Amino acid sequence: MITCILQASSGIHVLQRLRGIGIDSAFVHHARGVGESGKRRRGASYYAEREVVTVLVEAHRAEEIFEFLYSAADIGKPHAGMVFLQKAAHGIPLALPDLPEES
């Protein structure tokens, strides 16, 4: 299972690019993020809008998709987010039937 925390509004594009390389088992949701560098005044933190993409892939594609997400979300730039990989004990691969493309 790969989780990518990235800048707001880019999650859906990452999902579309994942679909292009055959990954359908992914979802995105909104979040807010704060870093150590975020200024805190009177105990209140400044949060930035974020999105979280979670992808379940078979183990043999994990490295490839990890690197793909790193690149697609520009993780190598400051304040871009992070990507991390966890082992899933069990999972069921999602295989979509042949469906017409949505416009």
Partner 1 sequence: MKHDIVVLTDATLITCIVQRGVADRVVTAALDAGAQGATVFYARGTGVRQRHLGLLAITVSAEKEVIYVVAANDQADHIFERMYLAANLDTPGMGMIYMSPLEKMATYVPPHVVARHLSGRDDD
Residue ranges in contact with partner 1 by CB under 8 A: 3, 5, 29-36, 40, 43-45, 47, 50, 52, 66-67, 70-71, 75-87
* Number of Cβ within a 10 Å radius of residue 53: 24
Which residue, 23 or 73, is less far from partner 1 as judged by CB? 73
Could you give the CA distance from residue 62 to residue 7 in angstroms, rounded to a whole number? 22
Could you give the CA distance from residue 15 to residue 23 in angstroms, rounded to a whole number? 8
Structure-token match 């880019």, residue found: 10
Q: How far is the CB of 57 from partner 1 (least distance, A)?
A: 13
Determine the residue type at 68. F
Q: How far is the CB of 22 from partner 1 (least distance, A)?
A: 22
Which residue, 2 or 98, is less far from partner 1 as judged by CB? 2
Which residue, 23 or 53, is less far from partner 1 as judged by CB? 53
